[in-house]
């Protein structure tokens, strides 16, 4: 695929929230996956110090930077289950 065939970011809208759909939106704020995210964030709060106090950017970064296998498994499970809901 050439660069010109890529949908510009401002046109990638979440059809549920009507905001730009990017990786951060999908993982930490999309309302479509709120119930799945409760499970993910509960695990993150157990494994990542002060997770619940972090901003959305901080949560996104800390999830992606985690090297804890339980956390990585929970992220993978969230992504698989969230994609099944679309
Ligand atoms: Zn959304």
- The pLDDT tens digits along the chain (86 residues) read 556 778 888 888 999 999 999 999 999 999 999 999 999 999 999 999 999 999 999 999 999 999 999 999 999 999 999 987 65
Cα(83) to centroid of ligand 1, in Å? 12
> What's the DSSP call for residue 6?
S
- Token readout for 54 is 């972090």
- Which range of residues forms the domain containing residue 61? 3-85
Name the 3-class secondary structure at 20. strand
pLDDT of residue 8: 84
Cα(78) to centroid of ligand 1, in Å? 14
Cα(69) to centroid of ligand 1, in Å? 27
The tally of domains found in the chain comes to 1
Name the 3-class secondary structure at 27. helix
pLDDT of residue 11: 85
pLDDT of residue 10: 82
What CA–CA distance (Å, rounded) separates 57 from 81?
A: 22
């Amino acid at each position: 695929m050439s660069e010109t065939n890529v949908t510009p970011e401002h046109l990638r809208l979440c059809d549920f929230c009507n905001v730009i759909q990017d990786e951060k939106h999908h993982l930490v704020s999309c309302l479509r996956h709120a119930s799945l995210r409760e499970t993910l964030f509960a695990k993150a709060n157990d494994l990542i110090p002060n997770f619940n106090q972090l901003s959305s950017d901080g949560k996104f970064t800390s999830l992606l930077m985690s090297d804890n296998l339980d956390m990585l498994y929970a992220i993978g499970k969230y992504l698989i289950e969230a994609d099944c809901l679309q």
